[in-house]
Amino acid sequence: MALQAVDIPGTGGFSAHTGENLIFDNARERARSISGKDFYRARTARLQRTTTTLATEELRTRVLNVLDYMDKQDLNLPLLLWELFWNNDELYSDDKARYARTELMLSEEFEQLLRLWHKPTRFHNKGVKTRAAYDVLETFVKETLSYEIDDEMKKVANAMHSPQEDLSEQYLLSIKWEECIAQVQVLAPRLWGLLRHAAYTPQQDERNSMKSPDSVCDPLAFFQNCIDDINCRLF
């Protein structure tokens, strides 16, 4: 019997069922009492409890059966994910497909997969460690971070820009570093975090409970050099 989609108010998701047998017991009631993320993780947790009871060979057989079925459908993992996430308008709006996407993106396993794809565990006695998706993820992170930092720099430049005629020794001496630091932390949290990390290691942070590293970061001098590159001035 085909699976049907049952809307669950307040969750943006659905519960698949065959006939009257719901995948989630009392799904509507549970959806009201737990957060959206926990709701989507519930089915994965339940399935994981089931798979941990299987023998390794049985689990291997099930996974290979799924891959064999995909072969018969002329699909592989790259094509499956591409169609499920982006390339098919009807799949994009389909309740079952939407639920599957959300279930993956909100899962605890997704973050673990990213970490393993970035730096996979070396298998015992295998010798060579595969690079997996290391290069792809490194490039993606650098591009994303560069975009975010450029955006934050523009916000800082706009907030701290002063007309040339307003510059004076009195004005510069009146600058309150604490206020500048607080403003930078709000406008450029990612860049501030990078500068703070460069000036103050986690080990120092743990040992030193008295001295703040904020003044060590001296972000305004750094920002001046960067903003000059985009023809802006901090002051």
For residues 221 and 177, the answer to whether their CB atoms sit within 8 Å is no
Among residues of the chain, what percentage have pLDDT more than 90? Answer: 29
What are residue 15's DSSP bridge partners? 6
Q: What is the mean pLDDT of residues 71-93?
A: 92
Place of tokens 């982006």: 86
Q: What is the mean pLDDT of residues 210-222?
A: 52
pLDDT band, very low/low/confident/very high, at 199 (cuts 50, 70, 90): confident
132-173 per-position pLDDT tens digit: 788 899 999 999 999 999 999 888 888 777 777 777 777 777
Q: What is the mean pLDDT of residues 111-136?
A: 76
* Furthest CA-CA distance within the chain: 80
- pLDDT at residue 24 in the model: 40
Q: What is the mean pLDDT of residues 80-107?
A: 91
CB count within 10 Å of CB 191 equals: 23
Pairwise CA distance, residues 124 & 88, whole Å: 41
pTM above 0.75, yes or no: no
Q: What is the mean pLDDT of residues 110-129?
A: 76
